[in-house]
Chain A
Amino acid sequence: MKFRSLTAIAATTALCAPMAFAADIADEMTIVSWGGAYSKSQLRAYHEPYSEKTGTKIINDDSSAEAVAKLRAMNEAGNVTWDVVDVVAADAMRLCDEGLAMEIDPDTQLAAAPDGTSAAEDFGELLVSECFIPQIVYSTTFGYRTDLVGDTPPTSVCAVFDTDAYPGKRSLEKRSINNVEWALLCDGVAKEDVYDVLATEEGQQQALDKLATIKDDVIWWSAGADTPQLLADGEVVMGSTYNGRLFSVIEEQNQPVAMLWDAQIFDLDGWIIPAGLSPERQARALDYIMFATDTQRLADQAKYISYGPARASSAPLVGKHADLGIDMAPHMPTDPENAKNTFLYNYEFWADYRDDIEAKFQAWLSQ
């Protein structure tokens, strides 16, 4: 299909070169995202209005989970078929470093806020990489079964490590990031010292030792949908996952689950445009990005999923859930009530130590 339409574009260009306005910008684009409720929120907040406005045909590919590997392969094969890709900030940094994503100038290529604030200022420090256009702030946090924790629901993240007070299985992500931070926090390390301790051999061992105390009670997850399923099953009493997934379990599926916002770890998710696109496709991708990351669009997405918009100017525009009609602001990870105790994810630390700690963690896991 794509091949045919590209051929058609080529033919059009060749035949009507004088009136080539139609070929200056592609009329079809492939947008890569994470699937599920998240893709649906993008579909309704960004894709549908954009298609309506410009007539562009948007194809969704739910391949963000393997975006880095696939972009590398595409680059090697010289055949980049994606136009805009949704990735987490850490992946965007890697892609940017490897030259697989194009650099974006926020002042000329992103929309300014309605009051005239420049995009660079509006996104502020969330612009963590030159190639990355932030979209949402999400957090990885815990949810627990309200009917399995007795009369004293957990209020601290350390309940995860307390198998006496809260017996039963818990689900944790099958990777070191986030888990080692929580382990150190609950092993008496002060919040501001966590990354200093983790930088040492002993600190890494300390984190693994703390995790070892609950290793027999952990079900390790690898997809964001696992913990919601395990919680709905009653298979685990508590488990970590992305806050939007827990929102869906609690409010949309009416399961007996509650949020444990304590020590939630913020992360960013956003767009990149792959390097090496043809000029027409790049023009279309940039036009889409300009549209989809403006103040109103980012606020619109929060109608469908409980992730916080990345622009400061979008926050006051967050309204009610599109189907349920409930106020979305109290469900945002950035809401002051939820963000009483948050943990700041350190990108630079993980960029330097990720391979090392991850290898130790996986070795420990298989022991």
Chain B
Amino acid sequence: MSTLSIAQRTPVNFYVPVSAAAGAFAGLLVGTSQGSTIIGVLAGAVILAVLAFGATTLLAERPARWGILAAFGLAGLLIGALPGLIVGLMFGWFFGWFIFWLFEGRYRVGLPPYLTMGQVLWHYTFRVICGAIFVFLITPILVVLPLSFNAQDFFTFTPEMLAFDPAGYSLKHYRDFLTNDAWQDALRNSLLIAPMATLLSVSFGTLAAIGLSQPHVPFQRVIMAVLISPMIVPLIISAAGMYFFYSRIGLQGTYMGVVLAHAALGIPFVIITVTATLVGFDQSLTRAAANMGANPVTTFFRVQMPLILPGVISGGLFAFITSFDEVVVVLFVGSAGQKTLPWQMFTGLREQISPTILAVATILVVISIGLLTVVELLRRRSERLRGMSPG
């Protein structure tokens, strides 16, 4: 692809104004945070315009980029000590790269040569928008991670933390989580309830999906809709309904009740993933197995199950995460004896804003990332087995 277009140097009246515009945008952010938006915008534009012109006319690329990096780092250091230095170096690296990227015309490399200026602009604008959405989605998690190491009992970035002073950080919220009875009870309950709910969801969900994939089952769509409904009905409605129903049959405030409620919430995930896997399953395999004398149970465990296993496992993981993250239903169906982690986090946030919640959130985020990675790997494996992707 890279041979399609050749990088050509661009004229001064292109790269200087574009650099200035980027500088103005960066100045907008810095200026607003420092208290004066207009000065920030103007200063950013002027500095970048001068830098872009100066660096490209006076110096070669390598020394110019090092110079920009050093200048921004120094400016950052003067404004905000160590954190300022790091932010400054990041800005410096980016602008050094950006100026020469424009100046040398490298932005054309890798794109078809027949694209108009507008199309090239859109190509990169689109990427910036995607990046911005990504940042928007991930920022809350990125804020939570460092705050969980706060040495204070508040959700505050203290001056010590911003200066990367080791005294501003501590593991005491993790210690609190590991030693506090309330959190340990909640963790134990979550670890007790989630696997049981997952087991039930997976068993019933897989059976339902296999049953519904048989062509001779009547009212397939209606049954499917009913089984999927816990995912569609607002959670609070299901929760209130379950509360009154479970109260009457003596299940409210018991482990069994919470497990059943969570299983009901998890079943739709299993049905959907297993049904999707069954689409690629060749029914003649079961007939072949039957032909060779295997009974349906043997056929299921020896032939069908291994092939749809990735779907079962990913459905099971979703069911597990649903139960592990669920707060509304357990608030209704459970009583204090079945307090799960999300419940403890919910009351903790309302009554006492303690960073222990952030420590727990960090641990849960890490677990969730691990589980989702497993799901993704299984999905790829399943695709490979079915020959849907070359990987």
Collect the chain A residues with CB atoms within 8 Å of residue B338's CB: 1
Decide: A225 and B243 in contact? CB cutoff 8 A. no
A2 contacts which of B247, B337, B348, B352 (Cβ < 8 Å)?
Answer: B337
Decide: A232 and B351 in contact? CB cutoff 8 A. no
With contacts A3-B253, A77-B248, A229-B154 taken as known, whether A30 is within 8 angstroms of B335 at the C-beta atoms is: yes
* Assembled-state Cα–Cα distance A339/B320 (Å): 54
Q: How far is the CB of A5 from chain B (nearest CB, A)?
A: 10
Decide: A81 and B335 in contact? CB cutoff 8 A. yes
Could you say which of A34-42, A117-125, A172-180 contacts chain B?
Answer: A34-42
* Assembled-state Cα–Cα distance A229/B147 (Å): 14
Decide: A61 and B156 in contact? CB cutoff 8 A. no
* Assembled-state Cα–Cα distance A81/B254 (Å): 11
Interface residues of B in 148-171 (CB under 8 A from A): 152-156
B353 interfacial contact with A, CB 8 Å: yes
Interface residues of A in 40-70 (CB under 8 A from B): 59-63, 65
Q: How far is the CB of A254 from chain B (nearest CB, A)?
A: 9
Which B residue's beta carbon lies closest to that of A223?
A: B350
* Per-position binary interface string of chain B over residues 344-385, scored 1 when its CB falls under 8 Å from any chain A CB and 0 otherwise: 000111111100000000000000000000000000000000
A18 interfacial contact with B, CB 8 Å: no
With contacts A1-B337, A3-B253, A77-B243 taken as known, whether A233 is within 8 angstroms of B154 at the C-beta atoms is: yes
Collect the chain B residues with CB atoms within 8 Å of residue A255's CB: 154
Decide: A34 and B336 in contact? CB cutoff 8 A. no
Collect the chain B residues with CB atoms within 8 Å of residue A35's CB: 347-348, 350-352
* Per-position binary interface string of chain A over residues 70-91, scored 1 when its CB falls under 8 Å from any chain B CB and 0 otherwise: 0001101111010000000000
A167 interfacial contact with B, CB 8 Å: no
A346 interfacial contact with B, CB 8 Å: no
Decide: A1 and B255 in contact? CB cutoff 8 A. yes
* Per-position binary interface string of chain B over residues 248-276, scored 1 when its CB falls under 8 Å from any chain A CB and 0 otherwise: 10111111100000000000000000000
A294 interfacial contact with B, CB 8 Å: no
Decide: B155 and A229 in contact? CB cutoff 8 A. yes
With contacts A61-B336, A223-B351 taken as known, whether A2 is within 8 angstroms of B156 at the C-beta atoms is: no
Q: How far is the CB of A239 from chain B (nearest CB, A)?
A: 13
* Assembled-state Cα–Cα distance A61/B347 (Å): 10
Collect the chain A residues with CB atoms within 8 Å of residue B350's CB: 35, 65, 223, 225
* Per-position binary interface string of chain B over residues 200-221, scored 1 when its CB falls under 8 Å from any chain A CB and 0 otherwise: 0000000000000000000000
B244 interfacial contact with A, CB 8 Å: yes
Decide: A78 and B247 in contact? CB cutoff 8 A. yes
* Assembled-state Cα–Cα distance A76/B247 (Å): 10
Which B residue's beta carbon lies closest to that of A60?
A: B336
Collect the chain B residues with CB atoms within 8 Å of residue A228's CB: 154, 353
Decide: A229 and B353 in contact? CB cutoff 8 A. yes
Q: How far is the CB of A63 from chain B (nearest CB, A)?
A: 8
* Per-position binary interface string of chain B over residues 318-346, scored 1 when its CB falls under 8 Å from any chain A CB and 0 otherwise: 00000000000000000111110000000
* Per-position binary interface string of chain A over residues 125-136, scored 1 when its CB falls under 8 Å from any chain B CB and 0 otherwise: 000000000000
A269 interfacial contact with B, CB 8 Å: no
A225 contacts which of B152, B253, B351 (Cβ < 8 Å)?
Answer: B351
Which B residue's beta carbon lies closest to that of A78?
A: B247
With contacts A2-B254, A232-B152, A233-B156 taken as known, whether A77 is within 8 angstroms of B244 at the C-beta atoms is: yes
Decide: A225 and B352 in contact? CB cutoff 8 A. yes
A224 interfacial contact with B, CB 8 Å: yes
Collect the chain A residues with CB atoms within 8 Å of residue B156's CB: 229, 232-233
* Assembled-state Cα–Cα distance A39/B371 (Å): 35
Decide: B335 and A253 in contact? CB cutoff 8 A. no
Collect the chain B residues with CB atoms within 8 Å of residue A232's CB: 152, 154, 156
Q: How far is the CB of A159 from chain B (nearest CB, A)?
A: 24
A181 interfacial contact with B, CB 8 Å: no
B254 contacts which of A3, A76, A225 (Cβ < 8 Å)?
Answer: A3
* Assembled-state Cα–Cα distance A4/B251 (Å): 11
Which A residue's beta carbon lies closest to that of B352?
A: A36
* Assembled-state Cα–Cα distance A37/B351 (Å): 9
A226 interfacial contact with B, CB 8 Å: yes
Q: How far is the CB of B335 from chain A (nearest CB, A)?
A: 5
Interface residues of A in 271-326 (CB under 8 A from B): none
* Assembled-state Cα–Cα distance A232/B352 (Å): 13
* Assembled-state Cα–Cα distance A168/B252 (Å): 48
Collect the chain A residues with CB atoms within 8 Å of residue B251's CB: 3
* Assembled-state Cα–Cα distance A244/B247 (Å): 37
Collect the chain A residues with CB atoms within 8 Å of residue B349's CB: 223
Collect the chain B residues with CB atoms within 8 Å of residue A253's CB: 152-154
B351 contacts which of A1, A2, A77, A224 (Cβ < 8 Å)?
Answer: A224
Interface residues of A in 79-114 (CB under 8 A from B): 79, 81
Collect the chain B residues with CB atoms within 8 Å of residue A4's CB: 254
A30 contacts which of B182, B247, B336 (Cβ < 8 Å)?
Answer: B336
Give the residue among A1, A3, A81, A224 with the most B Cβ atoms within 10 A.
A3
Collect the chain B residues with CB atoms within 8 Å of residue A39's CB: 351
**Residues in chain B within 8 A of chain A (CB atoms):** 152-156, 182, 243-244, 247-248, 250-256, 335-339, 347-353
Q: 17 A-B residue contacts at CB 8 Å? A: A1-B254, A2-B253, A2-B337, A3-B250, A59-B335, A61-B335, A62-B347, A65-B350, A77-B244, A77-B248, A81-B252, A81-B253, A223-B349, A229-B154, A229-B155, A233-B154, A253-B153
Beyond contacts A74-B247, A81-B335: 6 other A-B pairs, Cβ-Cβ < 8 A, are A59-B337, A61-B339, A76-B244, A223-B353, A226-B353, A232-B154
List the 6 closest A-B pairs by CB distance, nearest first: A61-B336, A35-B351, A36-B352, A77-B247, A79-B247, A232-B154
